[in-house]
Amino acid sequence: MIERYTSGSDPVLSVVIPTIPSSSHQSVVSKLKKQNADFDYEVIVINDSELDICEARNQGIKNAKAEIVALTDDDCLPPLNWLKSIYSTYCDSESRLSCVEGTVTGGLNYSGTRHYVGCNLTFMRSEALKIGGFSSEFAGYRDDTEFGWRMEKESEGKCIFEDSIQMVHPDRPRSNYNRELDDKLEENYPERYNSIFMSDMRERIYLKLSRIGITGKINELYNNIVGVKSE
């Protein structure tokens, strides 16, 4: 089921949120309705338990009316200037942009290392459609990274990181390490995988711990005992 909120008749930016009926998306939509944006935009929620996350995102992209598409998750809380920062980045760039990743804080912390984290990822709709959107082959783990790397390789514009585009991800991500998909990403993109993941000491440690099943237990303990909440 597609749920749509539109701030005006001529949206220049579309937000796509994949979710399932058992998960609430009211908080993120409420934050998006209050955005400090002086332009028309729309919010598209793909609420369907029969679609994997890649299929849901692709359906949202196909139904988007705007050329600039922004992704986030149903458990995120976008700051009130999130959309304005996205739009300004594309408008003010001297180069053609295909894809822009942003900062993530909270239960997930990310500051731009070409992982293309899906809860704060924006791109040109035409470029995403041209490369075939998100691949269900990686659904559930590394699907956003694989999409970003494919955009780097096949799109006509630049892919950049912009730290002014910020997103709050209150809780730890729900996805868990998947060795099969991680190996497949390395097999498909050996040079990128080694230069991006293996050159980062923290990432190397994370991957080694994941392969022996430790990080999943740490994440579960973190969610149950510590938690990170944000209003």
Share of the chain above pLDDT 70, in %: 84
In angstroms, the Cα distances linking 36 to 41, 152, 182 are 11, 30, 38
Which superfamily does 2-171 belong to?
Spore Coat Polysaccharide Biosynthesis Protein SpsA; Chain A (3.90.550.10)
Contact 22, 48 (CB under 8 A): no
Average pLDDT estimate for 195-208: 64
d(CA 63, CA 40): 16
pLDDT tens digits along 154-171: 999 999 999 999 999 987
Band of pLDDT at residue 146, cut at 50, 70 and 90: very high
- pLDDT above 80 (res 175): no
pTM of this structure: 0.87
Show me where the domains of the chain are located. Answer: 2-171
Which helix (H) or strand (E) segment holds residue 21: the answer is none
Side chain identity, residue 159 = C
pLDDT tens digits along 7-21: 989 999 999 999 999
d(CA 64, CA 222): 36
Angle, nearest 10°, between helix axes 179-188 and 143-154?
10
Band of pLDDT at residue 1, cut at 50, 70 and 90: confident
**Per-residue confidence (pLDDT) for residue 69, from 0 to 100:** 98
CB atoms within 10 A of CB 44: 24
